[in-house]
Structures are given as C-alpha cells and as structure tokens.
Amino acid sequence: MVIDKRIQRILSSGNYADLFEVDGRVYKLFRSGPEVPPRQTRVGRKHVFESQCEAFRSLSKDPWLQSHAATFFGNCIIDDVIGEDGTSVSDCYLLDCCYSLELLDLGEVDQETGLHKNEAKASSIECDNYPHITEAKARFKALGISTRDASLVLPYDPAKFKFIDFEIEGYC
C-alpha cells in the first residue's frame, strides 16, 4: 500500500504516529523520528506499536468492551509514503509499524482544547458521573490494558462511546 499525502487526508499527528484516512479507514503509521528517549525513539515507537496491536487483539476476550473500541482491522505494511511535493518521504516512517482502524466521527477541532468536538481524553472524564466509562476502564484494567493516554469518541453516550489509543500495561 502507498500513502500519498497529496490525496489522502492526515487526520492528526502525535508524538508517535500520523493518522491517515484512506478509503474510509484510518491508518496509524508510526514515525521514525525524532529521537527523544526513552519512548520516542525508533525502538520505543516499535514497542508502542506492538503494545497497541496486542491490546486490540486482547479485546476479543471481552465482546462488550470490544464493541466500545474502534474496530481493529489489523497490521499492514506500507510500501511508500509520498509527500506533498510528490517525492518519497518513507524514511520519515516505520513502514512495518502501521495498523488500520474504523473511521470514527470525531467532529470539528475545538480551537481551545485542540481535541475534536466528539473526543475527550479518558483521563479528564469524571468517571463518577459516567458509570459506562468506569465499567469500561475496569474491564480494560482486567485485561491488562492501560487507558492512561486513551481518548474517547462520543464519551458521554453510554451506547455509542468508543476508546482509541490504548496499550498493554507495562509493555514498553
């Protein structure tokens, strides 16, 4: 697969990866740099990638929780990434560290928080007011999955909320 930045929309960029929308799916492609020890290194990013993939696979043990996480379509190998100027920028990425997820409706970006309107950081939600979040976090913990840096899409809707950006506790 080739990701062409000229035609495929970058949904967001973080410390570890860029998110691309391609054919109605999200592809989380991990970057190769910059090197900021201990976790934001090539090796650290590979560990985060592996941990996140393992966390998604672990959800099969809890169907309720699986229904409240973005659908995981698995790992994929990227052959090349084409930059805005039409040349390869594949050196900027770990081409073997990519996975695909369901495209969720994040809404517009809130200029004050930098988050999308339909998104919240799991750590910022008062769980006492939202028992569905408390239950989900407990189920993640029982599977050994950390939601410390997780985000939630539609967090206040007990039927439709979904977690993204979680990983195996202590994997890295």
- Report the helix count and the strand count for the chain, using DSSP H and E: 3, 12
Write the pLDDT tens digit of every residue in 109-165: 888 877 788 888 888 887 778 999 999 999 999 999 999 999 999 999 999 999 999
The mean pLDDT of 28-51, rounded to a whole number, is 93
Whether this prediction's pTM lies above 0.85 is answered by yes
Return the domain boundaries, the chain: 2-168
Averaged pLDDT score across all residues of the chain: 92
- Count other C-beta atoms under 10 Å from residue 2's C-beta: 12
Among 42-56, 67-81, 117-131, the least confident range: 117-131
Q: CA-CA distances (angstroms) from residue 152 to 97, 119, 137, 160, 166?
A: 23, 5, 11, 10, 10
- Which pLDDT does position 171 carry in this prediction? 74
Q: What strands, in cross-sheet order, belong to the sheet with 72-75?
A: 9-13, 17-22, 25-31, 93-102, 72-75
